[in-house]
Chain A
Amino acid sequence: MTEPKLVEYEDIESVIIRFAGDSGDGMQLTGTQFTNTSAIFGNDISTLPDYPSEIRAPAGTLAGVSGFQVNLSSADILTPGDEPRVLVAMNPAALKANLPDLQRGGVIIVNEDAFKKNNLRKAEYDTNPLEDDSLVGYRLCEVPLTSLNRVALESIEGLTSKEIDRCQNFFALGLTFWLFDRPLEISMEWLDKKFTKKPHLAKANITAMQAGYSYGHNTETFQMRYRIKAAKLNPGHYRKITGNEALAMGLVTAAQKANKPLFYGAYPITPATDILHHLVNYKNFNVRTLQVEDEIAAMGSTIGAAFGGTFAATGTSGPGLALKSEAINLAVMLELPMVIVNVQRGGPSTGLPTKTEQSDLMQAMFGRNGESPVPIIAPATPSDCFETAIEAFRFAVRSMSPVFVLTDGYLGNSSEPWLIRNPDDIPPIEVSHPTEANSDNGYLPYLRDPETMARPWAIPGTAGLEHRLGGLSKQPETGNVSYDPLDNERMNRDRVAKVAKLVDIIPDQEIIGPDEGDLLVLSWGSTYGAVRSAVQRLQGQGQTISHGHIRYLNPFPANLGDLVDRFKRVAVPEMNLGQLVFLLRGRYGFNHEFIPISKIHGRPFTIGELVEKIGALL
């Protein structure tokens, strides 16, 4: 028996941990498991996966480093955090790639077995960082993880040496669990369930995890453990949710709330594909997913389904949206309701497929030929993707128009606790399909509702309402092909007016802080957490500053112009080079001073950099 060692507990409010390794090391899984347990433990959480676009870049190289960051807190948090305090690095490349982000004085846990000549060379280290003084100023914990893990698993029968080494991440997870005083049971349960058919793998991973935990418990390397109290979350029932998952659930919910089947046409594209992965499991909700030959077909099939009266949606990312443009314009002309999700990523062209950006706002607004108004809504947080999907369908049905939902790679892949909604509290979405002619001259497919300007949605199968829709210019009301100049202008204006009329159901823009003054910060989409936190920090320092986060980008809320007028300057942080600024200037004139705060690193804003940049304006 080893003597129980003396361990001190440090109580901390929050901690940011980053797990990093080769893309084959299972770091996303390790991070996710740690997050699940912490969430259930009652911490507020926010996560940010960061993975390369290569599935398996050469092992050990900087290009192949995959990371997962989680922010745990006993207080309400809005972002995955700025600088990690703990870094778990499975190899030299992971250390090198992530060290610049680590807090001074932070904890580094490394797999010292991986710091061999070959790996050091691949990570472009001239000398071994564990041996020179480059890590002075950090708390370095060297763990011979590979060999310890092998010893721990040697008695389990039927494991190949490759399978043994693949359990290393669970050794690291077990050690991290010990360090943060977390139970192993939740991950154990998960492993048992995942490997029901391969119990020896469940056993191997569990044993590795327990060995990691015991290692922390027994060795002198670790003299300190951390305790983060549970957060004061509002009472209720919670789960962890990513933006893509929330979006998929929102789409299903919308269809259910309208008593409709859901159709989802898609072509695989990072980072939107997970929406499809989730929806294929919801077939018992009468969800019809169609993985088609290309992005164009995804859009075309979505329009076809919408013509049939189904709740139809498609999801993609920037380059895919470019391919869909022509068909979106057809949807604009046919005036059929549907939802188009764009999980934005770094561009242009193939750009940064696995990284985040907000640079498709202009594409959504203007990326089609002709006058082509399409409503745009942008969720602010992962769980908000759920509400947005439902709202997008409400907008679509009301305006008989395709509607854009602009999320991004960060929202799509990040997770946070979600106070689970009661579906019974979500109001139904009213849809009506005419069954009788709407005029003395029979059914007029483009006879507009004076209140919404929307046309009726008669669907095939309805006797007597047979009609033809098409992409050619039309006569008002009848929808017959017409090249008459006045008909053309009238229909163009009607479509614009119809989208603008959504303002009738869009709530006024809210702001925090004084409702007039010197500086207003306006943001949209996934930057919400970082911008709100930065503004609150500045307010906490006694600065006078206000913040509004825009959800409705087309049309803007009715009071937005007024709000802008009441401030001398408007700062606009965006993960692009000023696209919202461009829209605001275009809409509210050049007399205002709009100050873009831009970042296109493929990564979200940190709170710190926003405090600095916004603070410099005060």
Chain B
Amino acid sequence: MSDVIQLKAKDFVSNQTVRWCPGCGDYAILKQLQRVLPELGIAKEKIVFISGIGCSSRFPYYMNTYGMHTIHGRAPTLATGLKVTHPDLNVWVITGDGDGLSIGGNHLLHAIRRNVNINILLFNNRIYGLTKGQFSPTSPQGMQTKSSPIGAVSQPLKPLGVAIAAEATFVARTVASNVKHMGQVFKRAAAHQGVSFVEIYQNCVIFNDGAFSHATDRKTKSDNLLELEHGKPMIFGKNHDKGIRINEFEPEIVSLDDVAEEDLLVHNENSRASLAYLLSQMQYPEFPEPIGVFRAVNHPVYEKTLRKQIDDSIVQKGVGDLHALYNSGNTWTVDADGKTVADPIS
């Protein structure tokens, strides 16, 4: 290829001052994405970031690409409208646990089930940050916040479980503090044809600090995370000595001292949604939490099917002609003497 696009991370840095709290997990995500985008070989003007409302949704202002900071929960709808009219654009939706799973839950479900070729990054910090600390749809039951001083009553949603239930064709999880892993996941998400849904564990230092310490603490994280690799048995632990086995349709943790590797559950990104769903239900402290690509399958892409319907219709009917459109159905002619004559039905 002659005109390979040579961009650098700094080309994606906008002239706006980043205004997240010092230490916020969002910084790492921004930086990593700015680093990954040049590697995709996509022209900057073809990239669009669309967000809703919340701390994470300020994201587009900081990216020197096209972007829209929209309204609470609705970013997937704008992304869908843009993508079906401009399939050549590379569209990213930036959302959070409140934006995507509470006020925007319906749009998220439908964007996913349509399989529009967009990348949805859900920054999960398990709290409402911008409104200063209320429990969110992913806050654990019992969590004390400003709006739940004696503990949140409702059960949390598992973002990946929701996405898989909506038949997401690409589902992954990563951790904001693990930039290398995050970068790989972003690249996989960008390469996927169809909707890509990525949950990012993102620490809110101000209102929910340490929510993911089990997954970020250097000493414990390898015991608490299960890095998924396609075709590989599910092994985890500091010493690679633990594995996941299926017993009566339920996952269980086994020690490699007692169980042979061949008996472990093998990860398959292309399997039916049930494996991905099972993985999405594994939660600390009962289980190590899987990270990486849960599912990546090929399904027809919405905007391509729509485009095909248009092309087929042009083949069948010819390129639309307004004369023909106006004159379709029963028409009649009134001549200069006022006499009416019916035209043949067209």
Interface, chain A (partner B; CB < 8 A)? 36, 39-42, 186, 189-190, 193, 230, 232-240, 249, 252-253, 256, 261, 263, 265, 282-288, 290, 292-294, 296-297, 299-310, 312, 326-327, 330, 334, 420-423, 460-472, 480-481
Contact = CB atoms under 8 A, between A and B. Distances in A.
A193 B336 CA distance: 31
B231 to A, nearest CB: 36
18 contacts: A186-B342, A193-B345, A253-B322, A263-B84, A283-B314, A284-B317, A290-B80, A300-B80, A301-B80, A304-B80, A307-B81, A330-B70, A421-B326, A460-B45, A460-B46, A460-B66, A468-B61, A469-B68
A292 B80 contact: yes
Contacts of A470: 60-61, 68-70
Sort A-B residue pairs by CB-CB distance and give the 6 closest, nearest first: A300-B77, A304-B81, A42-B340, A301-B81, A285-B320, A470-B69
A194 B63 CA distance: 56
Nearest to A290: B84
B245 to A, nearest CB: 40
B330 A461 contact: no
Contact of B82 (A261, A282, A460, A462): A460
B323 interface: yes
A461 B65 contact: no
A303 B81 contact: yes
A481 B86 CA distance: 27
A40 B325 contact: no
Contacts of A310: 85-86
B56 to A, nearest CB: 14
Nearest to A426: B322
Contact of B77 (A240, A263, A292): A292
B67 interface: yes
B248 interface: no
Contacts of A238: 331-334
A228 B305 CA distance: 51
Given A193-B345, A284-B318, A297-B110, A420 B85 contact: no
Given A297-B110, A481-B16, A261 B326 contact: no
A472 B333 CA distance: 55
Nearest to A467: B66
B82 A307 contact: yes
Nearest to B44: A466
A142 B193 CA distance: 67
Contacts of A40: 330, 332, 340, 342
Given A42-B340, A460-B46, A469-B68, A294 B334 contact: no
A308 B332 contact: no
Contact of A308 (B71, B85, B313): B85
Contacts of B81: 263, 265, 290, 300-308, 312
A367 B69 CA distance: 22
A193 B106 CA distance: 42
Contacts of B320: 252, 256, 282, 284-287
Contacts of B314: 283-284
Nearest to A234: B334
B151 interface: no
Nearest to B302: A290
Nearest to B323: A423
Given A40-B330, A293-B107, A460 B70 contact: no
Contact of A301 (B46, B77, B310, B335): B77
Contacts of A480: 16
A306 B77 CA distance: 12
Contacts of A287: 310, 320
Given A284-B318, A285-B320, A471-B71, A460 B89 contact: yes
B306 interface: yes
Given A237-B333, A307-B68, A468 B14 contact: yes
Contacts of B64: 466
B319 interface: yes
Contacts of A230: 338-340
B107 to A, nearest CB: 6
B330 A235 contact: no
Given A233-B338, A305-B82, A286 B61 contact: no
Interface in B27-79: 43-46, 48, 50, 60-61, 63-71, 74, 76-79
Contacts of B14: 468
A420 B343 CA distance: 13
B77 A423 contact: no
Name the prevailing secondary structure of the A interface residues: mixed
A334 B340 CA distance: 51
Contact of A468 (B45, B66, B326, B328): B66
B110 to A, nearest CB: 4
A469 B322 contact: no
A401 to B, nearest CB: 17
B330 A186 contact: yes
Contacts of B109: 293
Nearest to B335: A235
A468 B107 contact: no
Nearest to B59: A468
B149 interface: no
B334 A235 contact: yes
A463 B333 CA distance: 52
A238 B329 CA distance: 11
B316 interface: yes
Given A468-B14, A470-B61, A297 B107 contact: yes
A239 B329 contact: yes
B69 A471 contact: yes
A509 B61 CA distance: 45
B86 A297 contact: no
Contact of B45 (A299, A326, A463): A463
A528 to B, nearest CB: 23
B309 interface: yes
B82 A235 contact: no
Given A239-B329, A300-B107, A330-B74, 14 more contacts: A190-B345, A235-B336, A252-B322, A256-B322, A293-B110, A297-B74, A300-B71, A300-B74, A301-B77, A303-B81, A326-B71, A420-B331, A422-B323, A470-B68
A127 B32 CA distance: 83
Given A233-B334, A290-B84, A467-B66, A296 B77 contact: yes
Given A232-B338, A296-B74, A239 B67 contact: no
Given A285-B320, A460-B46, A472 B330 contact: no
B250 interface: no
A326 B104 CA distance: 13
A304 B340 contact: no
Nearest to B328: A239
Nearest to A419: B334
Contact of A39 (B60, B80, B330): B330
A296 B72 CA distance: 11
A238 B45 CA distance: 48
B69 A236 contact: no
A308 B82 contact: yes
B147 interface: no
A416 B267 CA distance: 65
A303 B111 CA distance: 16
A282 B310 CA distance: 9
B17 to A, nearest CB: 10
A294 B81 CA distance: 14
Contacts of B319: 284
Contacts of A263: 81, 84-85
B133 to A, nearest CB: 21
B88 interface: yes
B340 A235 contact: no
Nearest to A469: B68
B326 A249 contact: yes
Given A239-B331, A249-B326, A462-B45, A305 B107 contact: no
Contact of B70 (A284, A466, A471): A471
B327 interface: yes
Nearest to A39: B332
Nearest to B12: A466
Given A256-B320, A304-B82, A237 B331 contact: yes
